[in-house]
Chain A
Amino acid sequence: MRGRPNLYTSYEADGAIFPTATQKVTFWLGVAGMVALPFLGLSRVWLILLATTFVAAIGAIGLNLVTGYAGQISLGHAFFLGVGCYTGAALSGDPGGSVIGMGLDMLIWLPAAGLVAALAGVIVAPVALRLKGLYLALVTLGLVFLGEHIFRNWESLTGGGGVGRKPPVLSLLGWRFDQPGAIAGIEVSKEQQIYLLTFILLLILGFAAKNLARSKVGRAFAAIRDRDIAADVMGVNLTWYKVVAFAVSSFYAGVAGSLYFATTGFVEPASFNLLLSILFIAMVVIGGASSIAGSIMGAAFVTLLPQIIDSTSDFLPLIGDGSAGVLSPAQFERILFGLLIVIFLIFEPLGLYGIWIRVRNYWKAWPFSY
């Protein structure tokens, strides 16, 4: 359909990931650009920050699948992140250490982290069968507190509150991502490797989620979100799809959780608190509910915001540490973070993705954009 990009003649074309060849080319050029980025002299701080963004995006996609697509409100994402993180850490950790460790390879612990978290999701899902809306949100809120309590007291696994343990070891078939090395003769630093690893994982999991969302399963999710009784009447098996939604979402959370602290060197039970859940909710809200691209944008926005504020705080009035300002950059970031959730919910419920669509449509018809 050359020259008529909006004419769809089949369901396959309508549901395609890239509706036009131009979009496909632009996307893969963008990917190539992202792969080349770490070799263009980006500083270590920014590389790590971007790697964290990619991991956060994986987690946000997971939350978006259950909350945005399937409409099952979960404030318990931090719990599943924690389950994934500790599964990965226990399987990969040093066998002789003070905490549980089995010294296994990433080929085993990364899928296992996802699967164990998914299992936790399957266990929680029956609650979602009986509860709806705000009641479900409050139960998953409770889950975060119960999870934090378990993590803090299970000292042989987590090291205990305030002590913590090492996050999973990034070692794939003997190759260490967390040590400088050489790929095909090119020297690569630890940060560059972690960046590439997380980017490739995001690419794979992002496509998987996109494909899930446009399949039968994704349509069932949307039907449940829009009206669960109607979906039931139409023959959507509520039990099965709610379990699937929680399992897949938790799988993503588990994978993200096991990598989220990979760069920090240690992970503490208190990390998996309510604020972490809210952080991921914010990514979904700010990025745009039921959109994979939106989740990635939201994750980037929420993760990069503190760094941007930090580096611009010298130019902002009243913001600075100590006597330099009324609010410290960290406080300003928190306030802005809270207000952004409010502002996006009121003015742009579709999130950054909605803004992007509007901007795109404006230029599409330019200069006849009315």
Chain B
Amino acid sequence: MTQFLQATVAGLSLASIYALLALGFVLIYKSTQVLSFAHPALMVFGAYFVSYFAVTIGLDFWLSLALAMALTALLGAVIERLALRPMVGKPLFSMAILTIGLDIAIRVVVNDLIGLNLRGVGDPWGFSTVKLGDVVIETRVIAMFITAVVVTVALLLFFRYSKVGLAMRATAADQEVALAQGISVHRIFALAWIFGGALAALAGMFTSTGPAGLSPTSWIVALKALPAIVVGGLDSVHGAVVGALIIGLAEGYTSTYQATAMPWLGSNFSQVVPYLVMLIVLLAKPYGLFGTEEVERV
């Protein structure tokens, strides 16, 4: 039982990171129809600057986090303005491939900055733990989970009640009609990337806490958030969170039990579980669990 709870905690901690990333993906996809493969780069970019401000320069951690989020948001806005604005109206696939190109270019620079050694981000949680019965929970995991919940609720409320959120939903539904209602579609595009960038930085910071640290391979985490949004449906906010939970827990349980229960699946099988879950869900539901089914006209 303890092992099961421990696996659940591990799964939830992964789910929190995936949720933060997935929300960024969904935000961008929902308003601009771009599937951002640039998120791995944005994530490590943010994490590096948290590390730079907090560890190298020695600023306060929270200030560093805010600065890094602002910088990553700025990078997101720059990407949108320079690379994606000229692509409006082009095939969705071209835009997705374009973000792959950006990801490669940005990641080379960030990896060069990170260097070969593991970097910490100077977070206040460190390796401290809390004991709940027999289950040991790292403080950073609690922080992650709370942040993910707060951000999710905030985003849901934002989409539901704020004027900008409404404008975003309108743009997602139909860009031309949104324009006709006096919504600045360009500003919405920029905003989506700004939010997406800031969330990526936040997720990057959390990935780099604890024993994992920030290394040139940290970016791979962001790719595993893609199955999460696909499982939930590319354009659904609550779907992204549900998807992140499913993927995170599936990964957590497999990494705990698979080595003993099903060793023939090979070592590190938990790393590919997200993709397997995605494949199975999509075969049953081609638009994910909560995705909008496309209505097609010929």
Contacts and interface: CB of A to CB of B under 8 A. Distances in A.
Interface of A: 73, 127, 130-135, 137-139, 141-143, 145-146, 149-150, 152-153, 227, 229-230, 233, 274, 278, 281-282, 285, 327, 331, 334-335, 337-342, 345-346, 349
Given A133-B93, A134-B93, 11 more contacts: A131-B286, A142-B227, A145-B275, A149-B272, A153-B265, A281-B100, A335-B108, A337-B101, A338-B108, A345-B90, A346-B87
A139 B278 contact: yes
A337 B103 CA distance: 11
CB-based closest 4 A-B pairs: A341-B101, A153-B266, A338-B105, A142-B275
A38 B230 CA distance: 49
A281 B279 contact: no
Contacts of B278: 138-139, 142
A83 B285 CA distance: 28
B93 A227 contact: no
Contacts of B108: 327, 331, 334-335, 338
Given A141-B226, A229-B296, A342 B101 contact: yes
Chain B interface main SS type: helix
A290 B149 CA distance: 46
Contacts of B182: none
B44 to A, nearest CB: 14
Most buried by B among A133, A149, A153, A285: A149
A132 B234 CA distance: 12
B102 A342 contact: yes
Interface in B225-273: 226-227, 230, 234, 265-269, 271-272
A71 B86 CA distance: 22
A131 B268 CA distance: 28
7 contacts: A73-B93, A134-B35, A135-B288, A142-B279, A229-B298, A274-B223, A341-B100
Nearest to A153: B266
B156 to A, nearest CB: 23
B272 A146 contact: yes
Contacts of A146: 272, 275-276, 279
Nearest to A327: B112
B287 interface: yes
- In this complex, the member of B101, B278, B282, B287 whose beta carbon has the largest number of chain A beta carbons within 10 angstroms is B101
Nearest to A341: B101
Contacts of A334: 104-105, 108
B137 interface: no
Contacts of A152: 266
Given A338-B104, A345-B94, A135 B109 contact: no
Given A145-B275, A335-B108, A345-B94, A139 B102 contact: no
A255 B268 CA distance: 30
B98 interface: yes
A27 B282 CA distance: 46
Contact of A134 (B87, B96, B100): B96
B105 A142 contact: no
Given A138-B226, A227-B298, A334-B105, A131 B282 contact: yes
Contact of A340 (B96, B101, B226, B271): B101
Contacts of B87: 345-346
A133 B230 CA distance: 12
Contacts of B282: 127, 130-131, 135, 139
Given A131-B286, A146-B275, A153-B267, A137 B96 contact: yes
Contacts of A143: 275, 279
A341 B283 contact: no
B146 interface: no
B97 interface: yes
B66 interface: no
Nearest to A334: B108
Among A141, A334, A338, A339, the most chain B Cβ lie within 10 Å of the Cβ of A338
A331 B114 CA distance: 14
Interface string B88-125: 00101111111011111110110010000000000000
Contact of A335 (B86, B100, B109, B268): B109
A142 B247 CA distance: 13
B283 A349 contact: no
A264 B17 CA distance: 40
B97 A285 contact: yes
Contacts of A335: 104-105, 108-109
B150 interface: no
B219 to A, nearest CB: 11
Most A Cβ at <10 Å: residue of B87, B104, B287, B296: B104
B279 A133 contact: no
B269 A149 contact: yes
Nearest to B266: A153
Contact of B230 (A138, A150, A327): A138
A278 B109 contact: no
B28 to A, nearest CB: 12
Max chain B CB contacts within 10 Å: which of A138, A229, A337? Answer: A138
Contact of A345 (B101, B105, B223, B294): B101
B157 interface: no
B270 to A, nearest CB: 10
Contacts of B294: 132
Contact of B276 (A142, A345, A346): A142
B83 interface: yes
A105 B267 CA distance: 34
Contacts of A73: 93
Contacts of B105: 334-335, 337-339, 342
Contacts of A145: 271-272, 275
Contact of B86 (A282, A331, A338, A346): A346
A339 B274 CA distance: 29
B81 to A, nearest CB: 12
A231 B240 CA distance: 33
A325 B296 CA distance: 53
